[in-house]
A and B are shown apart, each in its own frame.
Chain A
């Protein structure tokens, strides 16, 4: 049973294989083709054809022939320009990639070396140059310069082509050349020693409107392949490779996140809390915690005023204090009507306060204002205070300040 079916299948394939598949040709002439026996004959014929002023002609040889370009009056090939342009692009792209990735986008300290330097970038830049040059050369040559693929060229699948891809040499003058005339061309060929002249006609598909891309069969084949690929991919990824970590851009990783549950630890939390008494950098505990104002008179601002400090203070103030106190400390923050309105920082009380008092308010809080000791580091608090002083002074500037500012 099975063997009969297999035999039938084999017979079917054999029959299909041996069918003549020459496409029907139209009545429209593509050109006249002549065949020659020797390299010397063909090269002279080529020079003759070019010399007679024909432009749409070509020579067909089984291998590249020296001097043929000159004989045909051709300029030398321009493939090199494309290679050069893309090679240069490859070089720049590789260099830019290395520079951007390692020194801009994600600075990774490796052996204390500079984030970007030329010598270690050279190998990859070189490879990038070569890669793009090569790809540009090949695809530029094939697609841009030779207009390939062109499987249904009128010349293919003809006796002429079978001869010139083996041991004969041929010339074709196309029918759409301005000077083309059947009898003239034949005369020219014969005078050059052609042993055979063939007429080459367009294929029907060369002329017709029917493009194979919209062919029903073609579309259904594409469709079937797409569905099949999808099914196979689904099965391999989800069933066969089920246990394997998929290639998911590192989204899922074999690690416990700080917010997730873990059965490994007694308290079932994935997060590991610091040991009791751990002090984070920049967050030294406050010695006057919970004490009244009066006890902190001794604290003084350890930071010297500088542009950097003031800018830092401004940044922190805008982040942490401005929601309530407003950008200029006037108590008109964006939390208006949602939180008790704080007093202006330009009132006499705060103007007279020492820096230590403001520090105390930030660190300890005051009535409804909560403590900011958790969010703002010690140094940042002092920077904010410098900035508040700047705001105060700018609100109450004296004439002297104005002349100085000029």
Chain B
């Protein structure tokens, strides 16, 4: 059981029962103490960013989306870039909580809860953008097939509508997944707290969970089913996001490699974000024993793998453009790499493909400062990937007379900043109010947590191991 020993090697306690208590204490600590200075600093930065975003959003609502840099021929810009960027970030959470669960990767328990929370906040952040992109967000209800005075329905063959269904399903399922994971932990918090108000809140939220094995049995089955359906779901979401582009007929978008390429990119960027935040969180909340360097190293390996998949896609796009013999297609790619947005293209390539190659070295994989720098570069690179895909394809299309450059406005930049503020404000509130590592899951993988005998009613227990 090599995975189990990951924890015990760094947890200093030998006796299982004693370490359970310690796990409770370490994980529940942030929820039971006043916020530290570091938390307040982080919170004030993120809420300031959120306020700037809110201000820019009100400008947009008041004057209309003319406040943005979007203009013919670049009709999709920061709004859609940010949407794809944030929705991609979310994918790491589901990958960790569902796919790694199905593959019985026990190391995921240390980071799963946190990554799931990130998924939810990232999808929330992402959801803002397509809605404000419609120009009249207060009418966004009509994105759904709602009965109305004109008797007309939405267009079911449009990928944009598929997106509506995919993203809202994704949010609901991720939220449920995260929510049922929290129930046993909330019960533990309920039984720990001495405050009457907190106890009432935790009692209600934990639904009166009693840790009964008859309940655990159904709970575990439900968890397995959710993991089973989340796996194809997460793949479908970014596939459908890629359809927004691939189903159109624009050179540079109309390619069959988009779905797998987008999914790989989403996981890549998501892991980048998870690492970035985890490195800070484990330090601030003293959880180095639970979220270990081993975790970070494993995530770095995933980054290396998905980064190369993305690199393969970049190369393959070029190859197909040449191989297709289609002049428009060829022009778009040459324009990407050597045209006016070449700087964006090469930022993307170096951040996503070249720098992550350093993760081949074990020393670098296990070095926290270098990892930090590299994962931040991954975030930057993946944002630019969306920029490159969207803007370079649009700004020079079939008709040279309508070619133009795209320049973001201050409001665009403010909204981008605001999206980070929104995401991190929620994340910080989560860190302070709920358990950022699943207490019950961690306990289950501590050494000595599982019985070594398996008796049956009436019969004698037989040993294994």
Same complex: yes
Q: Which of A18, A80, A106 contacts B153 (CB 8 A)?
A: A106
In the complex, A80 Cα to B196 Cα: how many Å? 38
Q: How large is the interface on A (under 10, 10 to 19, 20 to 34, 35 or more residues)?
A: 35 or more
Asked if B222 and A70 make an inter-chain contact with CB atoms under 8 angstroms apart, the answer reads: no
Asked if B196 and A17 make an inter-chain contact with CB atoms under 8 angstroms apart, the answer reads: yes
In the complex, what residues of B have CB within 8 A of residue A50's CB?
A: 457-458
Residue from A127, A141, A168 having most chain B Cβ neighbours under 10 A: A127
For B180, the closest partner residue in chain A by CB is A138
Asked if B220 and A64 make an inter-chain contact with CB atoms under 8 angstroms apart, the answer reads: yes
Asked if A123 and B204 make an inter-chain contact with CB atoms under 8 angstroms apart, the answer reads: no
Q: Which of A71, A133, A250 contacts B456 (CB 8 A)?
A: A71
For A161, the closest partner residue in chain B by CB is B191
Q: B4-12, B142-150, B352-360: which one contacts chain A?
A: B142-150
> Known: A130-B169, A135-B176, A138-B222. Is A62-B443 also a contact (CB below 8 A)?
yes
Asked if A71 and B226 make an inter-chain contact with CB atoms under 8 angstroms apart, the answer reads: no
B390 → A minimal CB distance (Å): 21
In the complex, what residues of B have CB within 8 A of residue A405's CB?
A: none
Asked if B148 and A60 make an inter-chain contact with CB atoms under 8 angstroms apart, the answer reads: no
For A71, the closest partner residue in chain B by CB is B455
Contacts of B415-465 to chain A: CB distance below 8 A: 439-441, 443-444, 448-459, 461
Asked if B155 and A58 make an inter-chain contact with CB atoms under 8 angstroms apart, the answer reads: no
Q: Which of B151, B219, B229, B455 contacts A134 (CB 8 A)?
A: B229
Q: A2-10, A97-105, A224-232: which one contacts chain B?
A: A97-105
Q: Which of A68, A77, A120 contacts B218 (CB 8 A)?
A: A77
In the complex, A87 Cα to B225 Cα: how many Å? 11
Q: Which of B195, B207, B213 contacts A149 (CB 8 A)?
A: B207
For A59, the closest partner residue in chain B by CB is B213
> Known: A39-B448, A162-B191. Is A74-B210 also a contact (CB below 8 A)?
no
For B150, the closest partner residue in chain A by CB is A250
Interface 0/1 of B301-345, CB less than 8 Å to A: 000000000000000000000000000000000000000000000
In the complex, A153 Cα to B214 Cα: how many Å? 15
Asked if A165 and B138 make an inter-chain contact with CB atoms under 8 angstroms apart, the answer reads: no
Asked if A138 and B218 make an inter-chain contact with CB atoms under 8 angstroms apart, the answer reads: no
Q: Which of A65, A137, A164, A168 contacts B450 (CB 8 A)?
A: A65
Interface 0/1 of B183-223, CB less than 8 Å to A: 01001101110111111000110011111111111111110
In the assembled complex, B240 has its CB within 8 A of some CB on chain A: yes
* Interface residue total, chain B, C-beta cutoff 8 A: 94
> Known: A76-B221, A148-B207. Is A51-B458 also a contact (CB below 8 A)?
yes
In the complex, what residues of B have CB within 8 A of residue A145's CB?
A: 218
Asked if A137 and B213 make an inter-chain contact with CB atoms under 8 angstroms apart, the answer reads: no
Q: Which of B138, B213, B455 contacts A58 (CB 8 A)?
A: B213
In the complex, what residues of B have CB within 8 A of residue A137's CB?
A: 222, 225-226, 229
A397 → B minimal CB distance (Å): 46
Asked if B454 and A43 make an inter-chain contact with CB atoms under 8 angstroms apart, the answer reads: yes
Asked if A124 and B213 make an inter-chain contact with CB atoms under 8 angstroms apart, the answer reads: no
Asked if A141 and B443 make an inter-chain contact with CB atoms under 8 angstroms apart, the answer reads: no
> Known: A17-B196, A110-B157, A166-B21. Is A141-B207 also a contact (CB below 8 A)?
no
In the complex, A83 Cα to B233 Cα: how many Å? 15
In the complex, what residues of A have CB within 8 A of residue B385's CB?
A: none
Asked if A43 and B451 make an inter-chain contact with CB atoms under 8 angstroms apart, the answer reads: yes
Contacts of A72-130 to chain B: CB distance below 8 A: 72-74, 76-77, 79-80, 83, 87, 97-98, 101-102, 105-106, 108, 110-111, 113, 120-121, 123-124, 126-128, 130
Asked if A150 and B149 make an inter-chain contact with CB atoms under 8 angstroms apart, the answer reads: no
In the assembled complex, A257 has its CB within 8 A of some CB on chain B: no
Q: B159-167, B260-268, B399-407: which one contacts chain A?
A: B159-167
Asked if B218 and A58 make an inter-chain contact with CB atoms under 8 angstroms apart, the answer reads: no
In the complex, what residues of A have CB within 8 A of residue B199's CB?
A: 21
Asked if A39 and B451 make an inter-chain contact with CB atoms under 8 angstroms apart, the answer reads: yes
A76 → B minimal CB distance (Å): 7
In the complex, A71 Cα to B450 Cα: how many Å? 13
A263 → B minimal CB distance (Å): 25
In the complex, what residues of A have CB within 8 A of residue B453's CB?
A: 40, 43-44
Please, could you name 5 A-B residue pairs with CB atoms under 8 Å apart, sorted by A? Answer: A17-B196, A76-B217, A120-B157, A134-B173, A135-B176
Which 4 pairs show the lowest CB-CB distances between chains A and B?
A51-B458, A50-B457, A167-B20, A141-B222
Contacts A106-B153, A138-B179 known; 15 new A-B pairs at CB < 8 A: A51-B459, A60-B211, A61-B216, A77-B217, A77-B222, A79-B221, A108-B155, A113-B157, A130-B169, A130-B236, A134-B230, A138-B176, A165-B211, A167-B20, A167-B21
